[in-house]
Amino acid sequence: DATVQRIAAGEVVERPASVVKELVENSIDADASRVSVAVERGGKDGIRVRDDGVGMSAEELDLAVRDHHTSKIGDIADLEAGVGTLGFRGEALAAVGAVSRLTMRSKPRDGEMGHELTVEGGDIGDSSPAGCPAGTVVEVDDLFYNVPARRKFLKTDATEFDHVNTVVTQYALANPGVAVSLEHDGREVFATDGNGGRSPPSSRTQSGGTGNLRSTVLSVYGREVAESMVDVEWSADDVSAETPIRSVRGLVSHPETTRAGREYLSTFVNDRYVTASTLREAVLDAYGGQLAPDRYPFAVLFVELDPATVDVNVHPRKLEVRFDDESGVKEAVSEAVKEALLAEGL
Ligand code: ADP
Ligand code: MG
């Protein structure tokens, strides 16, 4: 029933940024080459995610908003096998629809006609034909309008937007081959060009250096940060000691190119964005005493390791991972970053 649905939805949907995360993941899963995110008042009033992905037919649109419907069975197997998947067992759109006014418009790439469907506080409407380009647009208005306690818990527009920005930035960095843009209250915040190639970041960095990653960093963090970034290029093959990690690649900032307040740390394990206190500590440790108090470096790091040695906390809202060998991972990642800084004489 509706109350149970709303309570369950709260598990997936905590704030505007969690909605944005689910929608952007769906777009990337749908093979989009362009994903445009626009939010109003930190996402509290409106969220719109538009993609040029595979799209959905009228039947698929209707199924998409039903609880536990997913077209991604393979990903669930992935999730159980090791580091995660995008999406979460078909719960996201149903959960978002239960606590907002949700409108979806979609047209399959090879389809003739588009369709539109709305869900209001869990009530699923009938789909109707609508003119739209190939791909999908999802609009989420008035998040938590029917759950006042949650609505009240949301922070200021600026804080909610910070969370949205962090999420969209992660996906932009993780997918240099996708043109990702972000707009807040009608102003463009950043846009990547998607020219970083279609291959996963780790294989691309292996063959082509971190040039593409640097251009994506330039788009999201600006020129000053991008130019100060130092290449991290570390492989287990180059060290004699046993290590739980296969490789660490990416970019970290000059110890003086830091920012106060929030952290600009993006870590990916086997190409999936994750958070892990071990990785965070490893990076901060590598800078040793070089960081001013309350200043944080920028880092974008892709860590490769045996998926069987990573535990994913399969809570839908979190991407927190743990490693079988926490201290071994920390040591190796820290070493990789130190080596990169040393090579630049920093
Ligand atoms: P999940 O991603 O775990 O499958 P969701 O509730 O996020 O669950 O989405 C349900 C289904 O809706 C997806 O499996 C997919 O088939 C479809 N879908 C959602 N968003 C899109 C999109 N942007 N483009 C194409 N299909 C989509
Ligand atoms: Mg999903």
Pocket test for ligand 1, best of 13, 19, 26, 54 (most atoms within 8 A of CB): 26
| Residue bearing the CA closest to ligand 1, atom 27 | 26
Pocket test for ligand 1, best of 49, 70, 104 (most atoms within 8 A of CB): 70
The tens digit of pLDDT for each residue in 287-319 reads 988 888 888 899 999 999 998 898 876 555 567
Q: Which of 82-96, 135-149, 260-274, 317-331 has the highest mean pLDDT?
A: 135-149
Model ipTM value: 0.99
User: What's the confidence (pLDDT) of residue 2?
Assistant: 66
Three-state DSSP state, 331:
helix
User: What's the confidence (pLDDT) of residue 208?
Assistant: 39
Local confidence band at 202 (pLDDT 50, 70, 90 cut-offs): very low
Per-residue pLDDT at 248 exceeds 50:
yes
Q: How far is the CA of 70 from the centre of ligand 1 (A)?
A: 6
Which pTM was predicted? 0.85
Mean pLDDT of the chain: 86
Ligand 1 nearest atom to the CA of residue 71, by list position: 14
Q: How far is the CA of 140 from the centre of ligand 1 (A)?
A: 15
User: What's the confidence (pLDDT) of residue 321?
Assistant: 87
Nearest-ligand number for the alpha carbon of 136: 1
Q: Which protein residues touch ligand 1 with a CB less than 6 Å away? A: 22, 26-27, 30, 51, 53-56, 64, 69-72, 87-94, 136
Nearest-ligand number for the alpha carbon of 69: 1
Q: Per-residue pLDDT averaged across 16-40, rounded?
A: 95
For 9, 231, 234, 240, 327, the CA distances from 247, given in Å and listed in that order, are 38, 13, 6, 14, 16
User: What's the confidence (pLDDT) of residue 10?
Assistant: 63
Q: Which of 80, 78, 76, 26 is nearest to 54 (CA)?
A: 26
Q: How far is the CA of 78 from the centre of ligand 2 (A)?
A: 14
Cβ neighbors of 21 (< 8 A, separation 6 or more) are 167
- Least confident window among 4-8, 60-64, 161-165, 215-219: 4-8
Local confidence band at 234 (pLDDT 50, 70, 90 cut-offs): very high
- Least confident window among 30-44, 197-211, 228-242: 197-211
Nearest-ligand number for the alpha carbon of 88: 1
Ligand 1 nearest atom to the CA of residue 95, by list position: 6
The tens digit of pLDDT for each residue in 97-110 reads 999 999 999 999 98
Q: Ligand 2 (ion): which residues have CB within 5 A?
A: 26, 87, 92
User: What's the confidence (pLDDT) of residue 3?
Assistant: 67
| Residue bearing the CA closest to ligand 1, atom 15 | 71
Beta strands in 253-331 (DSSP E): 258-260, 264-269, 272-274, 295-304, 310-312, 321-323
Q: How far apart are CA 237 and CA 214, in angstroms?
A: 25
